[in-house]
Amino acid sequence: MCERAIKMKNLIIIILLIIPFTLFGQQWNHTWGYTTAGVAYTQTGYQGADSSTSIDIIIDLQDLYPMDWNPLVLENQPSLDSSETVYNVSAYTYLGTFWWMIDAENATDSTGHTIKAYPGFMTYYPGTGDRISTSNITFSTTATTLLSETAEVNDIQWRFVNVYVNSSADASSQTTKHGPPEFVKINIAFQTMAADSMNVYWDDVYPAVYQREQSNRSTTNSGNAKKAPETLH
């Protein structure tokens, strides 16, 4: 085989190896999310929560990279029971993993809490370059409960739950795959048996398109409503 043919063959092999990474490449984004008013949370989380505290965390999913963990599983389950996980129910769309940690200062109390997810879309663009404000996103009023538990104090561990939306209000999505919402609101609500003065920390991680490609993000809304570059941590 001539030298030119060998070089061409090697070039074709390299191209074939590069194409999958170009088409299917993604990165993992870590974000603390935003308040409903569009103020970015930081690593301090929420300090001094009590049994009446309800924390809303808005995650902007405009740069989400769709990822289907189990596309060949054919199950039509409208909800999860104790023996199922989001991985073996094909109707659920994976939106990332939510990590959280609760530090209860009082060593005699437990921390009862629920974590819920609400899909949302921008229904009003404020025209200021901001994508999140108090009244411009409409979220479903019916939540998908991701977790409800009572954790003992002095067990300060990072816990995680996979994020998805598929509530009883989303009738069509219970048995079919679906595209992701534009936003998801994650709510942490504490129960009456929860301790006082709890410090709550969290980190949402989700598959995103490569940072260098994020300038190509589009939106279903008019105006300059593209997501600002993430300040990753």
pLDDT of residue 165: 82
Give yes or no for residue 108 having a pLDDT over 90. Answer: no
Residue 100's alpha-carbon distances to 51, 127, 130, 171, in angstroms, are: 17, 33, 26, 30
Give yes or no for residue 98 having a pLDDT over 90. Answer: yes
Over residues 11-34, mean pLDDT: 67
pLDDT of residue 68: 67
The pLDDT tens digits for 42-67 are 999 999 888 889 999 999 998 888 87
What pTM was computed for the model? 0.76
Residue 216: pLDDT band by 50, 70, 90 thresholds? low
pLDDT of residue 102: 87
Residue 94's nearest CA partner among 1, 160, 21, 9 is: 160
Give the DSSP H/E element, type plus range, for residue 165.
Answer: none
Residue 78: pLDDT band by 50, 70, 90 thresholds? very low
pLDDT of residue 58: 97
CATH, domain 24-210, list 2.30.30, 3.30.70, 2.60.120, 2.60.40: 2.60.120
- DSSP, collapsed to helix, strand or coil, labels residue 35 as coil
Q: What is the mean pLDDT of the chain?
A: 75
pLDDT of residue 15: 60
Over residues 5-33, mean pLDDT: 65
Token readout for 50 is 């009590």
As to burial, measured by CB atoms within 10 angstroms (0-12 exposed, 13-18 middle, 19+ buried), residue 191 is: middle
